[in-house]
Chains A and B, each alone.
Chain A
């Protein structure tokens, strides 16, 4: 599966999120690639992804992309990322 981590500029927050998302995917036994995108390219990148991880404000901006958009509050909390990813994909 493909997980898309989205932030405003694609250089900071999403990279912080990427490491935790990779770890969460491993913990959940998923064969997943985590890619990062900035908000400008997120909707396009989401068309080939299975789930989006981002912040509350950016989730509102991304809107409906036909796949789960998971809102992460604490980007360095591995437990939160794993729990929310698990709920979103039903694993």
Chain B
């Protein structure tokens, strides 16, 4: 089965900026609420993402300022999807090199590899300093979604 493109797994409605979060739990909750609001998960997935950090530590902070909040495939995951919560003020996750976090990407997956090309593409996009700056500096969901769609088109052509 063909994998949905990144711009579809991360719809504009799953993107928020200027999110107020007092701590890492609130930041993950914000990303989880976007997943639930767009039909990727139920609200139970938020607790599962919290539990993953409690179990494995803050390793989900995969790059300076960036957390990839996720848990395992579970009944709380309705379909594979991503969300984007840009925080108004950075919060600490307790990571030794990558704190504080300004952006939480939420990931819900129904299996282990149905989202791998989209996620690899997101990694490439975020590893490009110019594009990342444009994304983190964007003030609205439409601008972020547009930048991602544009990048996807540029890679595909």
Contact = CB atoms under 8 A, between A and B. Distances in A.
Contacts of A13: 59-60, 62, 68
Contacts of A56: 59, 96-97
A15 B127 contact: no
Given A20-B127, A73-B98, A74-B98, A15 B59 contact: no
B59 A16 contact: no
A57 B123 contact: no
A8 B62 contact: no
B126 interface: yes
A7 B59 contact: yes
Given A18-B116, A58-B56, A77 B63 contact: yes
A19 interface: yes
B109 interface: yes
A28 interface: no
Nearest to B58: A57
A15 B60 contact: no
A12 interface: yes
B21 interface: no
A66 B52 CA distance: 28
Interface string B34-54: 000000000000000000100
Given A7-B59, A16-B119, A76-B123, 7 more contacts: A11-B73, A15-B115, A16-B68, A16-B122, A56-B96, A56-B97, A76-B124
Interface of B: 52, 55-60, 62-64, 66, 68, 70-73, 96-98, 107, 109, 112-113, 115-116, 119-120, 122-124, 126-127
10 contacts: A7-B59, A8-B55, A12-B119, A15-B116, A16-B122, A56-B96, A58-B59, A74-B97, A75-B123, A78-B127
